[in-house]
Structure 1
Amino acid sequence: VVIKHTVSYLKGLDKSNVIKCIKHFPGDGIEERDQHLVLGINNLSIEDWEKSFGEVYRTHINNGVEMIMAGHIALPNYQKYLVKGLEDKDVLPATLASELIQDLLKEKLNFNGLVITDASHMLGMTSSMQRKDYVPKAIAAGCDMFLFFNDIDEDFNYMLNGYKNGVITNERLHDALRRILGLKAKLGLNIEKPKRSLKDLDVIGCKEHKEMQKEAIDKGISLIKDTKNVLPINNKKHKRVRLYIIEGEKNGIYKPNEEFEKLCVEKLEKEGFIVTLNDRGVRAKGSVEKYKKEVDLALVFVDVKGYAEQNNMRIKYSGPMSNEIPWFVHEVPTVVVSFNFTNHLHDLTMAKCYINAYSDCKETINQLVDKLLGKSEFKGKYFNENVWANQFQAKL
């Protein structure tokens, strides 16, 4: 599956004259932690790695991929096979392990392109040794470019001292330079060309792009289940809507769309619904019978985003047992929609009608509401068994 879709993507980059880079070697798909915060461990056996990650990298290398990013990920079983007597304390991330970059990637897999490190401030790298040591060691291990400075003068001198002290050999230095210059030449950067204006970027967001966006969103929004036949909704039977917005971190690198709430209310009101926003952080639920008299439909819109250790964020409510927890799924018709992650059903197994919408932009909100109303069919079908998180009640 990975090969099928990544090959298609890389072919698209080729057509646009964009250098291709794949990451993160040797593969982190079995490590649930994040290398921004801890050294990643790919603990597959040699045989299992060869027929999974190895096959993916081998395919792209044979297809001519130009760049590979080395990850702050260790591959201890393969490393110990390549370096006899290697002890656990000596296991290093691929970015610092010559047996993985030089021996496995460049020689065994025959990769003749450019290797770049992942970001140098990540703890998967900093947890290995002092910065003055790992800055030049990354190049000595076979990486050809070093990603991100801490302090430009200090890091430059760390690298220079590594060369002067023989950590980086002349042979390794010139091999890295050949790969860098060769890559630039492939893009024709060694040939003087007419300067382009920033106005060339005006094409971004053009009508054609907007149509592509609409088509992608239309094909993506997925009705995962509707076991109580809540859908379609309408502004007569479900006139009074209680809208619950569940958000993640507000000030993170990836924060929710600041206009999300407003856009949701505007679209629902445009379709003739009376929308009441739930008061966040309130613990009291109040009278159930009163709630049922006031609410015809509950919409739970989950707009949770995150980064690093919370790349895949769980549902987090505004307070302990606050009133937005879906206690009302058996009291009034309820629709739950996740606008980002695909695994939120794991924490929302009580939902009887659940949708994955994948993004929180205005176009997604508009198309989602149209689909709830039955104006447009749900076309998304690209989810698999993982959406149920191995929970039997998620399917009920």
Structure 2
Amino acid sequence: MNTPKPQETAQAKLRVIVMGVSGCGKTTIGDLVARGLGVPFLDGDSLHPVENVAKMAAGTPLTDEDRWPWLATVGTELANAGDGGLVLACSALRRSYRDAIREQAPDTVFLHLHGSKDVLRARTEGRSGHFMPPALLDSQLATLEPLEAGETGIVVDIAAPVQQVVREALDGLAAVGPSPERSAGGAAGTQPRQFDVDLQAAPFNLDDDAVAWVGSTIAGMSLEEKIGQLFINHNNDYSPEYLDGVLGNYHVGGMRYRPGPSAAVQEHIRYAQSRTRIPLLVASNPEMGGAGSCDDGTFVSTHLQAGSHPDKAIAGQMGQVAGVETAALGCNWAFAPIVDIHYNWRNTVISTRSFGNTPEIVVERAKEYFDGISKSPTVCAMKHFPGDGIDERDQHVVTSYNTLSYEDWNRTYGHVYREMIGHGVQSIMIGHIGAPELSRHFRPGLADADILPATLSPELLQDLLRGELGFNGLVLTDASQMIGLTQAMKRKDLVPATIAAGCDMFLFFRNPAEDFGYMMDGYKSGVITEQRLHDALRRILGLKASLGLHVRPRAELVPPVEALDRIGSEAHRAIAAEIADKTVTLVKDTAHNLPITPQTHPRIRLYGISGGADFTRADPLAYLDTVKEELEAAGFEVHLFKTADQREAAGETGVNFMSIISEEATGDYADKYDAAFVFANVKGFAQEAAIRIKWSTPMAAEIPWYVTEVPTVFVSLNQPNHLIDVPMVKTAIHAHAGSREAIRATIEKIQGKSTFQGTFNDNVFCGSFDTRL
């Protein structure tokens, strides 16, 4: 049966346009009025197409042709709010504009914020970062047509203090529409709003039978099973006994496993699904294709690589391969795409994991990825809300912050999230990232010490994500062992606090028995309310039902062994090779060193740079064997440099960093070698707050001192920001990956056998003039 929606049982709420010229306070007043009415708030500026934003930022007034599609979108947003109500800020200066909005939402009430020209000019000139320059104020005042007879609305003077303006607005609206339902804290209340789950709306889109399954399943759960559904376990062991313990003791709703050989992974997932009463969400991290989900999966490309060529279909290919290979394993949930925007070149946690440094490229490529992976029975969890890429630090090792203003966030990250929510993304992973200005927008006066990561912030999860962005899907935390979360409060408090704040699932136990107990205690003490638990369970089971897990026979939840043939297939490797060829990028060649061929420069001195072994424990310099093989296959004579540590490990004695420098940096260097190639594969993900090149010794012999001696080519196989550490190199290439396909394509392009097609953004120059030389 259908679950009654709030508007079917409660009094209809107002749909309000807060109108007026730039500087009148539409966003500030509108948000406070929305809270007083107990309805969501939306800034209409966020609905402008990018072309309109660019014109306004350039000081160019919009034409009516520019405005009509935007006004239609504004009206549609109001209409879609239904009886649940909405306050939307929109200039709506002319009667014809308001009529266009009323065509979509006839019962709209207009709240005109009126101010004198002097007041408006003072407020406009005092703003920073807004795309409406003060010079357009005169144009707007000339355009303004006040509310006329027959138009439902009120006028409030903005000269008074903000709280008085809000009180007058609420009193006036009460006289023209239904009585506003006040929030618990009044017009500026601080209680988090709860948003009901609509399982028949996007992104669940369930039919009556599926909704009934969700309800009956919840009704048949024990309390322990309900608490267990909130957890996603990180499977650290492939043994049946381990899974029996996790599933039998903690009743988890989902799991993510440690990657291994595809056959072992598939059998592990098959056993897990056979041992649980309620089907599991099985997650993987297919950020680069099938790689990362199993040891033999196909590395297709990084996110940055998929954004480094005009062909947007690359992201779709990456998503499609990811979907095919992870579905063959039995996975049904992708912790991807990553929709962070790489604004700060020093940020290395998303430098290769972001599609780019503009919201437009991120939206375009994220949609392609989503469409590609959605061809398989897979749902997505985009990440990391409210957005990484501003702070240079890594939330794995410290709380990081998105410091954009509310307005700037709406035009950038907010634009990305609105677009992806509208595109149908089913779940969102919350980062352990604080957003001071966003939090203070919803909680005015919030002290610095009270700014919490989004995972613990009801104003960001409820007021912003659920309210303004209208997200109806599932919300999960990022990994709970990350210091970005754990530094905020004691474990026993933070575990239930994430659910209370608005997260639906908790990613990874630290200690299963302890964390399960903390969550149970949080429910029993009232930190997690009955409604909050029920809503979370509806979304968890709703996501499972949207995948059809509730109707598929248990034996068919994981494909047969034969499906593993799709993993690492020749067809998928061919896609990877094609993408590598398209995306290898020439960042600079200011000395015109290229092409370099075995005929012109036969003797190559080869240097390898790594950041040392990371958590994968793989040999950090193993890629050099591939580089050497490919260079020799091309006809080069390769002379591999070895550090003092490497030579000592091989049994050599009497070497140290000074002796290596003395031996390497000799006057006859150019007599011995015709060119130098430096291949860097520097990682360090989740272990450092920032990643830079760390040379093997002080003043190491591999640092490119030799650029003055022979043509030198620097190739990055990972990070795009290395020029800050090697500005002296005149030829720099970003190959994006240490795969054989990427290395082979790079060597072909160095020789001039194929052209460079990849693109890059200004982050590669790291804000320093010498990196461009």
- How far the C-alpha of 1:78 sits from its partner, in A, is 2.2
- CA deviations on 1:239-266 (whole Å, 9 max, x unpaired) are 2211111111224337566531222222
**SS across alignment from 2:677:** strand
- The answer to whether residue 643 in structure 2 is matched with residue 280 in structure 1 is yes
**SS across alignment from 1:15:** coil
| Match among 749, 755, 767 for residue 371 of structure 1 | 749
Amino acid at match of 1:213: A
| Match among 402, 417, 421 for residue 57 of structure 1 | 417
Provide closer, same or farther for how the CA distance between residues 98 and 254 of structure 1 changes in structure 2, counting only shifts above 3 A: farther
- CA deviations on 1:184-237 (whole Å, 9 max, x unpaired) are 000000012352223312211112101101100000111122222222222233
**SS across alignment from 1:224:** strand
Larger RCO, structure (CA 8 Å, separation 6 or more):
1
For normalisation by structure 2, the TM-score amounts to 0.49
Stretch of structure 1 that moved more, 293-302 or 275-284: 275-284
- CA deviations on 1:9-28 (whole Å, 9 max, x unpaired) are 11222222310211111112
State the distance in 2 between where 1:75 and 1:136 align: 21
Match in the other structure for 1:347: 725
Provide closer, same or farther for how the CA distance between residues 78 and 372 of structure 1 changes in structure 2, counting only shifts above 3 A: closer
- Matches for 1:324-363 after TM superposition, within 5 Å: 324-363=702-741
Could you tell me whether the CA contact under 8 Å between 1:254 and 1:306 is conserved in 2?
no
Provide closer, same or farther for how the CA distance between residues 331 and 46 of structure 1 changes in structure 2, counting only shifts above 3 A: same
- CA deviations on 1:282-334 (whole Å, 9 max, x unpaired) are 23255643212111111111121121254762222111111111111121121
- Matches for 1:118-267 after TM superposition, within 5 Å: 118-193=478-553, 194-195=555-556, 196-253=559-616, 255=618, 258-267=621-630
- Percent identity reads 48
Amino acid at match of 1:358: H
| Match among 376, 384, 396 for residue 761 of structure 2 | 384
Provide closer, same or farther for how the CA distance between residues 29 and 216 of structure 1 changes in structure 2, counting only shifts above 3 A: same
Could you tell me whether the CA contact under 8 Å between 1:140 and 1:167 is conserved in 2?
yes
**SS across alignment from 1:112:** coil
Could you tell me whether the CA contact under 8 Å between 2:611 and 2:620 is conserved in 1?
no
Stretch of structure 1 that moved more, 206-215 or 10-19: 10-19
Amino acid at match of 1:390: G
Provide closer, same or farther for how the CA distance between residues 286 and 140 of structure 1 changes in structure 2, counting only shifts above 3 A: closer
Amino acid at match of 1:276: H
Provide closer, same or farther for how the CA distance between residues 270 and 2 of structure 1 changes in structure 2, counting only shifts above 3 A: closer
RMSD, aligned CA: 1.8
Equivalent pairs counted in the alignment come to: 395
Match in the other structure for 1:47: 407
Amino acid at match of 2:629: E
Match in the other structure for 2:153: none
Structure 1: unaligned runs, 5 residues or longer: none
Match in the other structure for 1:299: 677
For normalisation by structure 1, the TM-score amounts to 0.95
State the distance in 1 between where 2:469 and 2:424 align: 12
- How far the C-alpha of 1:100 sits from its partner, in A, is 1.2
Amino acid at match of 1:374: G
| Match among 9, 18, 21 for residue 378 of structure 2 | 18
State the distance in 2 between where 1:352 and 1:232 align: 13
State the distance in 2 between where 1:141 and 1:63 align: 25
State the distance in 2 between where 1:43 and 1:286 align: 47
- CA deviations on 1:361-382 (whole Å, 9 max, x unpaired) are 11222222122222222222x2
Which structure's CA Rg is the greater one? Answer: 2
Could you tell me whether the CA contact under 8 Å between 1:255 and 1:306 is conserved in 2?
no
Amino acid at match of 1:266: E
Amino acid at match of 2:545: A
- CA deviations on 1:338-360 (whole Å, 9 max, x unpaired) are 11111111211111111111111
Stretch of structure 1 that moved more, 53-62 or 127-136: 53-62
State the distance in 1 between where 2:514 and 2:664 align: 61
- CA deviations on 1:150-181 (whole Å, 9 max, x unpaired) are 11111111111111111111111100000001
Provide closer, same or farther for how the CA distance between residues 346 and 254 of structure 1 changes in structure 2, counting only shifts above 3 A: farther
Could you tell me whether the CA contact under 8 Å between 1:253 and 1:307 is conserved in 2?
no
- The answer to whether residue 686 in structure 2 is matched with residue 308 in structure 1 is yes
Structure 2: unaligned runs, 5 residues or longer: 1-360, 645-659
State the distance in 1 between where 2:495 and 2:513 align: 13
| Match among 453, 473, 495 for residue 93 of structure 1 | 453
Amino acid at match of 1:119: A
Amino acid at match of 2:750: L
Amino acid at match of 1:201: L
**SS across alignment from 2:708:** coil
Stretch of structure 1 that moved more, 134-143 or 27-36: 27-36
**SS across alignment from 2:563:** helix
Provide closer, same or farther for how the CA distance between residues 6 and 355 of structure 1 changes in structure 2, counting only shifts above 3 A: same
